[in-house]
Structure formats: C-alpha cells, structure tokens
Amino acid sequence: MSNEREWVEAVADRIRIEGQLEELDGVSVRVGAGARLPYLRQVLDPKEKGSFHRNEEERRADLLLYDQLDIRRWVPRVVIECALGGVTSNDALTLSAKAARHKHIHPYLRCGVLIGGRNLFSTPAFRIFRHGDRFDFIASWSDEVASEAEWALFAEILREEVQHSRAIQDIFSANRDPAKYSVVHRQLIFK
C-alpha cells in the first residue's frame, strides 16, 4: 500500500467483512474510517431553558466502531488510532492525550492503537506502551496485513471492547441498581 490512509481503509474493510461484528448481541455494529467524533462540548448560552447553543470540537478517528441504534442515533464504542511503521514518543503522548479527551466526553468509550508493519516490543515501538497510558489495548502486526493469528486476536479484542463499552455505559445508566457489581478489576494481558 502506498500510504497510511489506504492502509486504514483496507483495515476498515477487513473488519467489516471478517470482523464478525455486523450484529453483536442484537445491535448493529458499524465501522467508520476517518469518522468524526466530538471530544469537546461547551454550553455557550444556558440563559433560556431548553435553548442551549453548543460548541462542539471534533477530531477524526482513524477507525471508529459504533452501535447503530436507528437511522439517526448511534453510540461510539471503540476508537482505534492507526500507525503504519514506527511510533515516536511524541506520537504516543499525543494519541494518549487524544484518547483521554474522547473519554472525557464518552466515558464508556474504549480506545486503542493498531501498529502495522512493526512488532510492538521492537525498538523503538515500545514507546507506545510506555507513554500510552490512556489506551485500553495496543495491537501490532508484523506486516501491513495481519497474519491469521494476528487477525484472530485483533477481531477478538474488538468484539470484547464493544461489549466492555456497553457494560460501562450500563453502569452509568440511571436505571441500574448500584449494587450490581462489587468489584471492578482491569486486567493486563500480553498475547
């Protein structure tokens, strides 16, 4: 592939075709490449009840998985920033800050990074792990196209992250019993 944008589009197409996400637990999951997602909302004029003027800043996400609830309503579930080749410390810090801003607006959103053409723990790609404290997952492929094993792991992670996002949103829902869970444990898994 000639550039990162084409690579991201190819990954999005493969997720659509082979990701087994078309309908997950009865809800349609869609994939957007270069989708816009708000990461800042400000109420500018709250004087009149019911007539709020909002200022929204949006940023493009390389890949966005979202639940399509109906023709107008959708819920973002997973944002994936993509890097083809290497990742610098500055890249990692910038992407981590971007993930934090997205989660400020959508606290149930899951954020990750996909690195193509580089093993995650080869030098200097470990920087994404060291500086990417806001990522829920980091995946890397040894080439631009995932091997079958890499793809199987990545597709499994995407399905799990959509379900995690839904579970977190469920906790924030006003109609839930707060005593539903007594422990929350975030695991660290290396595969």
3-state secondary structure 4-49: HHHHHHHHHHHHHHHCCCCEECCEEEEEEEEEEEEEEEEECCCCCC
In this predicted structure, the answer to whether residue 18 has a pLDDT above a threshold of 70 is yes
Residue 69 lies in a domain: yes
Residue 190 lies in a domain: no
Residue 178 lies in a domain: no
Question: pLDDT confidence of 173, banded at 50, 70, 90?
Answer: confident
Higher pLDDT, 61 or 41: 61
Rounded distance between C-alpha atoms, residue 178 and residue 151, angstroms: 37
In this predicted structure, the answer to whether residue 166 has a pLDDT above a threshold of 70 is yes
CATH code, domain carrying 57: 3.40.1350
Identify the CA nearest to 125 among candidates 135, 143, 140. Answer: 140
- Give the global pTM: 0.83
Question: Helix crossing, 4-18 with 148-172: angle to 10°?
Answer: 80
Q: What is the mean pLDDT of residues 33-52?
A: 64
Q: What is the mean pLDDT of residues 38-51?
A: 58
How many domains does the chain contain in total?
Answer: 1
Rounded distance between C-alpha atoms, residue 128 and residue 143, angstroms: 17
pLDDT at 164: 93
pLDDT in tens, 56-98: 556 788 999 999 888 888 899 999 999 888 778 888 888 888 8
Per-range mean pLDDT, top range of 19-33, 79-93, 98-112, 130-144: 98-112
Residue 78 lies in a domain: yes
pLDDT at 131: 73
Residue 181 lies in a domain: no
- By three-state DSSP, how is residue 133 classified? coil
Residue 161 lies in a domain: yes
**Domain span including residue 124:** 4-44+53-172
Rounded distance between C-alpha atoms, residue 170 and residue 43, angstroms: 26
Residue 64 lies in a domain: yes
In this predicted structure, the answer to whether residue 121 has a pLDDT above a threshold of 80 is no
Question: pLDDT confidence of 181, banded at 50, 70, 90?
Answer: low
In this predicted structure, the answer to whether residue 125 has a pLDDT above a threshold of 70 is no
Strand-pair partners of 114: 82, 139
Residue 113 lies in a domain: yes
In this predicted structure, the answer to whether residue 46 has a pLDDT above a threshold of 90 is no
Kindly report the average pLDDT of the chain as a whole number.
81
Higher pLDDT, 120 or 170: 170
Tokens of 28: 């349609």
